[in-house]
Amino acid sequence: MEVVIFTAELLQQLDKITSQYEQRRAALLPVLHAVQEDRGFISPESEADVAQYLGIPVVSVHEVVCFYHLFHRQKKGKCHFSVCQTTACALRGAEEIIEHIEKRLNIKSGETTPDGKFSLTRVECLGACETAPVMQNNKEYKGLLNKKMIDELIDRNS
């Protein structure tokens, strides 16, 4: 069956990924990363597309999307904060940073501002404890956070 669900460019990228694996299904995580990069998040339609592309049941894609928290089932804000809340960051003031973001944006963890510009997620250890408190701003690591840095980021992206 010819697959017409992805753009030619994305399809080429996916074919390159799947060619590296002995079993097609093994490419599921990198394929989902590529689809999310292209479409912003993983919708039920995207799950069906990926299932068709890899030749596996939709439920096998859906349960994986739900299991791994780097896959988003809703659109995130243009400027997304993933702030670490685990021990090393907590000891260096992560909670104050999270509260400051919540107050500035008037949202809680897991929410997006109504204008779609910002979103916030509390995450567990990002593996950058030497720069605690740390977050990923979209995909970029930003460490040694303080309230001023947060203010500047919010002002710049407002």
Partner 1 sequence: MEKVVTRHFGIENSQRLETYLQHGGYEAARKALKEMTPVAVIEEVKKANLRGLGGAGFPTGMKWSFIPAANPKPKYLVVNGDEGEPGTFKDKYIFERDPHAFIEGVIITCYAIGSHKAYVYIRGEYEKSIHTLRAAIAEAYAKNYLGKAVMGTAFDIDIVVHPGAGAYICGEETALLESLEGKKGFPRLKPPFPAIVGLFGCPTVINNVETIACVGPIIAKGAEWYAKLGCEKNGGNRLFCVSGHVNKPGVYELPNGTTLREIIYDHAGGILNGKQLKAVIPGGISAPLLTPDQIDVKMDFDSLKAIGSMAGSGGIIVMDETTDMVWAAMIAARFYAHESCGQCSPCREGSGWVYRSIKRIYHGEGRMTDLQNLPGIVNNIGGNTICAFGDAVTMSIGSYVTKFRHEFESKIKESLT
Q: Is 155 in the site for partner 1 (CB under 8 A)?
A: no
Residue 43 has phi, psi (to 5 degrees) of -85, 165
Q: Is 3 in the site for partner 1 (CB under 8 A)?
A: no
Cα-Cα end-to-end distance for the chain: 46
Compute CA distances 138 → 17, 61, 78, whole Å.
23, 24, 8
**133 prior amide bond cis, ω within 30:** yes
Mask for 32-71, x = binds partner 1 (CB under 8 A): xx--------------------x-x---x--xx--xxxxx
Among 85-93, 100-108, 112-120, 148-156, which window interacts with partner 1 (CB under 8 A)? Answer: 85-93
Whether the CA torsion 76, 61, 36, 99 is positive or negative: it is: positive
Q: How many amino acids of this chain bind partner 1 (CB under 8 A)?
A: 42
Residues forming contacts to partner 1 in the complex (CB under 8 A) are 20-23, 25-30, 32-33, 54, 56, 60, 63-64, 67-71, 85-88, 90-92, 123-132, 136, 139, 141
